[in-house]
Amino acid sequence: MELITFLIVNFNTTDFIQNTLELLPKVTKNNYLIYILDNGSRIDDYNKLKNIVRHYPEVTLERWETGLRGSLAHGTAMNYLTSKVETPYFSILDSDAVWLKKNWDEILIKRLDDKIKIIGTQADGLKHKDFPMVYAAFLESKAFKELKIDFRPKDINRGQDTGFEMREKYRAAGYEGLVLVGQNTREYKKGPFARLTGVVEHYLEDNPEIIAVHFGRGSNLGTQKFKRGLKRYFYKIPRIGRHFLRKRGEKEIAQWLQICKEIVKKQTL
C-alpha cells in the first residue's frame, strides 16, 4: 500500500524531473505515487517527459494550459495537485529539488508528531526562515487538508508568494514546522555542491549528511542566478553574452545532476 504521494509541477524542466524519478526509488523506503502536472511547457519538453514516465508505472502525468504565468500559475497548479492526495503523507518537490538521503522518508516520519506536521526546506534570501518552504517538503496529509490552504500568491511585494498561507495557517491551528537548514553555495563551501553557483543544500540540524538539495534555477535554464559579479556585464553583450550565459547554465545543471547521482550511489552500493 502506498504511504506517500509526490507532487511535482513541470515547466520546461524535464531533465530535472527525470533525475528525480531515477533517484527516488533508491532513497525512499516506503511505497509511493507521483503526480506530475505539466504547466504549459514547450511541446518538445512535454513530449520528452511523456516518453520518460512510461517507464514509471507509479507516475501519473497530466498537462494543462491555463494561460497563467509565474507564481500564479504555479500556485494554481499546486492547488490542483494537493487535491489529488489520498495517502497519509505527501511530499511537494520543486522540479529542481530532490531528496538525497537514503531512507529520508522514514527519518522524517519519525520527526512528525502532535505538534510538527510539516518538515521542509528553509527559505533563501529575505523570506521567512522559521517555517518550511515548499522547495522540498514532507507533510502529514490529514492536518494539511484540515487547513484548506490556497497556494496562489496574493501580493508578492509583501512576501505573499506561492504558499504564503501555510506558515500562518499552521501556526494558527497550533502546529509548527521543522526546518531543514539551508546552506547556499555562494557562501557555504563544505558540502558536495560547493563548486556550483547558488545551489542550496539542506540539512537536519543534528545530522551532518545532506538530506535534500535545490538547484535554484530561477528562469531561463538556470541563468538568472549567474547575473551577479563582474561577469554580469559580459553576459549583457547582445547575442554573445546570452550564448555564454546559456552555456554556463547548461554546464552547471549537468554537474548538479551528476553530483546528485554520485551522492545516492555512495549510499546504495
Task: List, for residues 257-267, the tens digit of each pLDDT value.
Answer: 999 999 999 99
Q: So what's the pLDDT on residue 219?
A: 45
Question: Is 41's pLDDT higher than 90?
Answer: yes
Question: Is 45's pLDDT higher than 90?
Answer: yes
Question: Is 102's pLDDT higher than 70?
Answer: yes
Q: So what's the pLDDT on residue 218?
A: 56
Average pLDDT over every residue of 46-61:
97
Q: Which is more confidently placed, 91 or 65?
A: 91
The reply to whether CATH 3.30.300.30 applies to domain 4-217 is no
- d(C-alpha 193, C-alpha 173), whole Å: 37
Other CB atoms within a 10 A radius of the CB of residue 53 amount to 18
Q: Mean pLDDT for the chain?
A: 90
Query: DSSP labels for 37-96?
Result: EE-S--HHHHHHHHHHHTT-TTEEEEE---S--HHHHHHHHHHHHHTT--SSEEEEE-TT
Q: So what's the pLDDT on residue 138?
A: 98
Q: So what's the pLDDT on residue 159?
A: 61
In percent, the amount of the chain with pLDDT more than 90 equals 71
Q: So what's the pLDDT on residue 161?
A: 73
Per-domain residue ranges of the chain = 4-217
Q: So what's the pLDDT on residue 224?
A: 65
- d(C-alpha 174, C-alpha 114), whole Å: 9
Q: So what's the pLDDT on residue 162?
A: 75
In percent, the amount of the chain with pLDDT more than 70 equals 90
- d(C-alpha 182, C-alpha 201), whole Å: 6
Q: Which of 80-89, 132-141, 243-252 is the least confident region?
A: 243-252
pTM to 2 decimal places: 0.92
Question: Is 51's pLDDT higher than 90?
Answer: yes
Q: In what order do the strands lie in the sheet with 32-38?
A: 59-63, 32-38, 4-10, 89-93, 133-140, 116-121, 176-184, 200-203, 212-214, 97-99
Task: List, for residues 164-222, the tens digit of each pLDDT value.
Answer: 899 999 999 999 999 999 999 999 999 999 999 999 999 999 899 999 999 986 544 55
